[in-house]
Chain A
Amino acid sequence: IAGITQAPTSQILAAGRRMTLRCTQDMRHNAMYWYRQDLGLGLRLIHYSNTAGTTGKGEVPDGYSVSRANTDDFPLTLASAVPSQTSVYFCASSAAGGRQFFGPGTRLTVL
């Protein structure tokens, strides 16, 4: 692969279920990010990681957790999904302070 991938492409999930969205990059970027995009609200940062082993909260972190065990992977977990978490989720990566490359997105519907 070249770039950044996300899985699954789309998912329908029952409320209360646990879900992990996967993100992998092969560009050896230090920084990785998770955004959600909702109509009328634009892209909002959920969590970020500046380097492996560290994570930080973005604008809308509640209900989400992340981990960064290595450089390549940055999974996003919804511990107990709620309908308001229905959204399109984009993962991104960048070299420090530089342009971000985005994955193709995961379309999540929570019923």
Chain B
Amino acid sequence: RKEVEQDPGPFNVPEGATVAFNCTYSNSASQSFFWYRQDCRKEPKLLMSVYSSGNEDGRFTAQLNRASQYISLLIRDSKLSDSATYLCVVINQAGTALIFGKGTTLSVSS
């Protein structure tokens, strides 16, 4: 099993739709979790951290399920500008490095 796995997509949704991405990780001792966003040919940028109790930032909601070892990202009321690749990221047990999933591509159309 790969350390961090994501459905690559693409997810093609209309504006206003709600879309959810899941990500699974293999190391149960993983410490911290993030969602990054990457636009085409640009660097990844932090979208949000993922906390054990779940957290929300505007239209974005992140959740962590340690028992099942997955994290999720929910995007409500999708905008054209949400079109990007979303990377699930896990910090390893030693805290020395981030492990990236390969990303899920989202395309929002009008």
Q: Which A residues have a C-beta under 8 Å from some C-beta of B? A: 33, 35, 40-45, 48, 50, 56, 58, 88, 90, 96-97, 99-105
Q: Which residues of B contact A (CB under 8 A)?
A: 31-32, 34, 41-46, 49, 87, 91, 95-103
Residue with the greatest number of chain B CB neighbours at <10 A, chosen from A58, A100, A104: A100
Whether the pair A103, B101 counts as a contact (CB closer than 8 A) is: no
Are B100's CB and A42's CB within 8 A?
A: yes
Let me know if A97 and B43 touch, CB within 8 A.
no
- CB of A58 within 8 A of CB of B32, answer no
Give the docked Cα–Cα distance between A99 and B90 (Å). Answer: 11
Partner of B96, one of A56, A90, A102: A56
Please tell me if the beta carbons of A97 and B32 are within 8 angstroms of each other in the complex.
Answer: yes
For residue B45, which residues in chain A have a CB less than 8 angstroms away from its CB? 102
14 contacts across the A-B interface (CB closer than 8 A): A35-B100, A43-B87, A44-B100, A45-B98, A48-B96, A48-B97, A50-B96, A90-B43, A97-B31, A97-B32, A100-B46, A104-B43, A105-B42, A105-B43
Q: Nearest Cβ in chain A — how far from B60, in angstroms? A: 16
Known: A102-B44, A104-B43. Is A40-B97 also a contact (CB below 8 A)?
no
For B6, give the chain A residue with the smallest CB separation.
A42
Bound complex: CA A72 to CA B73 (Å): 34
**5 other A-B residue contacts (CB within 8 Å) besides A45-B97, A97-B95, A99-B34:** A42-B102, A58-B97, A97-B32, A97-B91, A104-B42
Q: Which residue of A lies closest to B98 (CB)?
A: A100
Evaluate contact between A43 and B44: CB separation under 8 angstroms. yes
Q: B49, B95, B102: which contacts A96 (Cβ < 8 A)?
A: B95
When A and B form their complex, which 4 residue pairs have the shortest distance between CB atoms, in order from nearest? A42-B102, A102-B43, A43-B100, A97-B95
A42 close to B43 (CB less than 8 A): no
CB nearest to A45 among chain B residues: B97
For residue A98, give the distance in angstroms from its CB to the closest CB of chain B: 8
Q: Is the CB of A42 within 8 A of B101?
A: yes
